[in-house]
Structure 1
Amino acid sequence: MGKLTQFGLLFNEERAVYFPGNTISGQLVVQLSSPMEMKAIRIKFVGRAHVHWTERHSTGSGKNRRTTTRHYSATENLFQQAVNVHGEGINNQNTLPQGHHVFPFQFQLPAPLPSSYEDHVGYIRYHIKGTIDKPWKFDHNTKRAFTVLDSLDLNAISSVMSPSGGQDSKHLCCLCCQSGPIEMEFHTDRSGYVPGEYILLNGTITNSSNSKVEASSAQLIKRVTYHATSKSKTVCQEVARINGPPVPKHGSVTWTNERLHIPPLPPSEVNHCRIIDIVYFVQFQAHLRACAIDLRADCGMTIGTIPLQSLDLYRNATPSEVPSAPSLPLSLAATAPPAAPQPLGFAPTQYSHNPPPPSYAAATGEEAYNIKDEDDNEYTMGETSYKPQYTYYDWNESAFTYN
C-alpha cells in the first residue's frame, strides 16, 4: 500500500437505511506513513441509476449470415455533489504530512428518491467516494455504498384494500374430440402488503375435461423493466411460491385462505426513477400436460414499506404497537418519515399477537454486488461489496389465523 496505510469512510451513525431528506455525516480517514504530494482530497456524493445489457442479433442467411452484438444502456443521475476537503480551493497545500488525518463530511439527501436496487442488469445506487487526486499518477479512491429507502405508505393508496383477481379457461382437444373446459378463478384478500405479511389466496379450479390437471401453484413475481435509450427489457423473477394439489378429470379443487409469505423485497417503484420500474403480481397457474399451455391468472400487487393500519392485525393493537416507519435513533426522529394517521374509528383492544417492530434485511437470495464502476481503478479501497436492505415485518404465521 506504500505511504497510504489507511483510507476509508466512516459514518457517524451506523444505520442500515437512510430516507430521502436525511442527513448523512461522517469522516474520511487518511493515514500516511510519510508525506504525500497531491493536488486535492475530494469527497463525492452520488445517487445514480444505470442499466446495461447486450443482445445478439443475426442478419442474412447461409454464407451471408452475420451475428452482431448490440449494447443497450442508459444512466439517470439522481444527484451528484463533489467537495474538496484539502488542497485545491481549500488551503492550496500540495502535500499532506505524515500521520493520521480526519476530514468530516455532511450531506443532506434530496427528496424524493427511488429506493436502492441492485441486480445484474441495472441498479439504483447511492454511494460516497473519497479521492486523493495525484497529478501525473493514479488517483487513490475509497468507496462506500448505503441504502436509501423510499417510504411507500399503503395507507395513502385507497385501492390497495380492494381484492385483486383474475381468471382463465381453455378447452383441451384430444384427437378430433373436444372435451369440456378447464376453468380457473382466483383472488387475493387485498392488493397492498408489506414484506413479512401473508397474501391470502382464494379460488377454484374446475376441470370438466377428460385430462388431469397435473398441479396448481401460486407465485409472487417481481417484474423489473429496464429502459435504455433505444429499447426496453423486462425480467420476471419468482420470489415466493406455494404449490397446490392436482385436479382430477371432471373434478375441482378449491383454495381457501392459502397463505403466500412475502420475503424482504424492494418496494414497488414506478414514480421516481425513469429507467427502472419494479412491479409485483401474483400468478396463479393450473399446470396441464406437457403438450398444453398452462392456465394463468395474474393479480397485481403493491409492495409498500408502511402497512395498512385499518387491518385487524394493527387496529386491535395498542397505539404504541402500531408500526409506522422503521425505528430510528432519537437523534434522527426529526428526519424520519411521518407515521401514517390512524384510521377513523380506531379503538384499541387487547390482542394476543403484538405487531412486530419493523426491521431491515436483504432481499431473499440477494447476493453482494461489486460497486466498482468505470471510474474506479485498482487502487480503489473501501467496502466495494454491497447488499441493499429493505423493510421487513417479522410476523409469526400463527398471527394470520382466519376463521
Structure 2
Amino acid sequence: MGKLSVFGITLEGNRTVYFPGDFIKGQVLILVTEPMKMKAIKIMCVGRAYVHWTETHTTGSGENQRTETENYSETENLFEQTIIVHGEGANEQTNLSQGQHVFPFQYQLPTPLPSSYEDGIGYIRYWVKGTIVKPWKFDKYTTQVFTVLDTLDLNNIPNISTPSGNSDTKTLCCWCCTSGPIEAEFHTDRSGYVPGEYILINAAITNSSYSKVKYTSAMLMQNVTYHATTKTRIDSRVVNTIMGPGVDKRATENWTNKRLHIPPLPPSESLHCRIIDITYSVIFQAHLRTCAVDMRLYAPITIGTIPIRSLQMYRNPPPSIGNQRLAVAPSAPPTHNFPPNTSPNPEQATSAYPTRGTFYSPPPSYPSATGGGAIIKDDDYGYTMGDTSFTPQYTYYDWNQSTFTSNK
C-alpha cells in the first residue's frame, strides 16, 4: 500500500455484539512509512437495511419472444453519523507524520434497532467505516462490521405459553374410487421460545385410506418477507428437521413430546425494520405416495431473546451444580454495562436483569448464526483493507451443557 502500511479499526474490548443504546467505542489505527498528505480522517457509523433481487420474465411468442430481467430493491437507513477524528475535512490539507497513530472515537447507538441479519437477498447490517480523505487521489477505506441484537422479551407477549397447532383432513383418490380420509392434528407445547430450547411436538395421524403414509416429519421454518419499492417477496428456509415413522393403512400413529432443537437465530422481527420481516413456524408433514400431494400443517411460533420465566424448566435448580455458576433467567431488558475489556459476558448479561424469585437457566452466549454470513462486497465500502467476511451472532441458551442436561 506504499506509504500506508496499516489502516484498521478496533472496537474496545474486541466486542462483537452490541445492543440498542450501547456506546460503540474504538480506535482507528494507522501506520505510515513516511509522511502522508490528506484532508481528514473520518469515521462513519452506519446502520442500514437493504434488499435486492432480480426476476426474469418471458414475453411474446415465436420470433417476438423476448426475455426481460427486472430488478427490485429498497434501502432503509437506520442511522448514519460521521465523526472527524483528524483534520478539518474541507479543502484544507494536513500531514500525518511517519509512524503509528491512534485516534479514539465513540458513538451511541440509537434505540430501537432491529437485530442484525444477513442472507443472499437482503441484510440488516451495522458497521464502522474509516476513511482517509486524500487530495486528488483515491480515498483509503477500512471497515469493521458488528452485530446488534434487539431484545424480545417473551414475557411481554400475551398467550405466549399457549400451544400452537393445527389440524387437517385429506382424502386420496385412487382411480375411480375414493378412499377414507387421512386425519392429522399436531401442536407445540407453547408459542414462544428462545434459541437453545427445544420445541416439544405432539401429533396424532389416523390413516383411514388404502395407502400407507411413507413417513412423517416436523420442520422449523424461518420465513423472511422482503419489501422492495414496487414488490414484496417471501422466502422460507428449513432451519431444522426431525423425522417420524410412517402410518400403515387403516392405522394410527402418535408423536409424544418429540423434540425439535432451535439453533442460534435472530428473534422474530416485524416492528423495527420497514423492509425485512422475520417470522417462524413449525410445519408437521405427512409424506404420501408419489402421485399425491403431501399433507402439511402450519403452526406459527415466536423466537425471542428472553425466555418465559414461568416455565418449570426455569424454576427447577439443576441436579448438579459442580463448579459452574448458575445464571438467573432474565425478566426485563438488561442494562448491558459490560466491562471495557470483554465482549458481552453471559453471566454479567444475565445478572444485569432485575429478577423476581429464583429462575435457573444456562447463561446466554452469542454464537454465530446458523446458515453462515456474508462477504462484504458493496459499493458503499470501496476498496477496503482487512477482513470483509461477517457472520451475525445471536443469543443462545445452551441446555446441553452438563449442569443442565436433565432439564432439557
Calculate the TM-score normalised by the size of structure 2: 0.91
- Looking at structure 2, the residues matched to 363 and 328 of structure 1 have their Cα atoms a distance apart, in angstroms, of 24
* Letter of the 2:381 counterpart: D
Q: Say whether residues 1:391 and 2:387 are aligned partners.
A: no
- Structure 2 match to 1:375: 380
| Aligned-residue offset at 1:330 | 4.4
Following superposition, the deviation at residue 323 of structure 1 comes to 2.5
The residue type paired with residue 358 of structure 1 is P
Kindly report which structure 2 residues correspond to 1:1-400, keeping only aligned pairs within 5 A, or say none: 1-88=1-88, 92-317=92-317, 321-324=327-330, 329-330=338-339, 339=353, 341-342=355-356, 346=357, 355-366=361-372, 368-378=373-383, 380-396=384-400, 398-400=405-407
Distance 1:363 1:36 in 2: 41
- Are the counterparts in 2 of residues 309 and 322 from structure 1 also a CA contact under 8 Å? no
Matched residues in 2 for 1:340 and 1:157: separation?
Answer: 19
Q: CA deviation at 1:360?
A: 0.8
Tell whether the 8 Å contact from 1:196 to 1:392 is kept in structure 2 after alignment: yes
CA deviations 1:98-143 (Å, max 9, x no partner) are: 1111110000000000000000000000000000011221110000
- Letter of the 1:169 partner, please give it: T
Contact (CA 8 Å) 2:326, 2:361: kept in 1 or not?
A: no
Instruction: Provide the secondary structure at the position in 1 that maps to 2:14.
Output: coil
CA distance in 2, matches of 1:320, 1:394: 13
**How far does residue 320 in structure 1 lie from its aligned partner after superposition?**
6.0
Residues 9-53 of structure 1: CA distance to partner in whole angstroms, max 9, x if unpaired?
011122231000000101001110011111111100000000000
What 5-or-longer segments of structure 2 have no aligned partner?
A: 319-324
Matched AA of 1:376:
Y
| Cα displacement (A) at 1:362 | 1.3
Per the TM alignment, residue 81 of structure 1 is displaced from its structure 2 partner at its CA by: 0.5
Go from structure 1 to structure 2 and tell me whether the alpha carbon gap of 1:256 and 1:132 turns closer, same or farther (over 3 Å shift).
Answer: same
Preserved contact between residue 9 and residue 382 of structure 1 (Cα < 8 Å): no
- 1:351 maps to what in 2? none
Q: Report SS of the residue matched to 2:292.
A: coil
Aligned residue pair count: 390
- Unpaired runs of 5+ in structure 1? 349-353
Q: Cα distance 1:64–1:89, how it changes in 2: closer, same or farther (>3 A)?
A: closer
Query: Could you tell me the percent identity over the aligned residues?
Result: 59
Deviations 1:282-315 (A, max 9, x none): 0000000111111111110100011111111112
Could you tell me how far 1:322 is from its partner in structure 2?
Answer: 2.1
Give the aligned residue type for 2:363.
P
Letter matched to residue 136 of structure 1: W
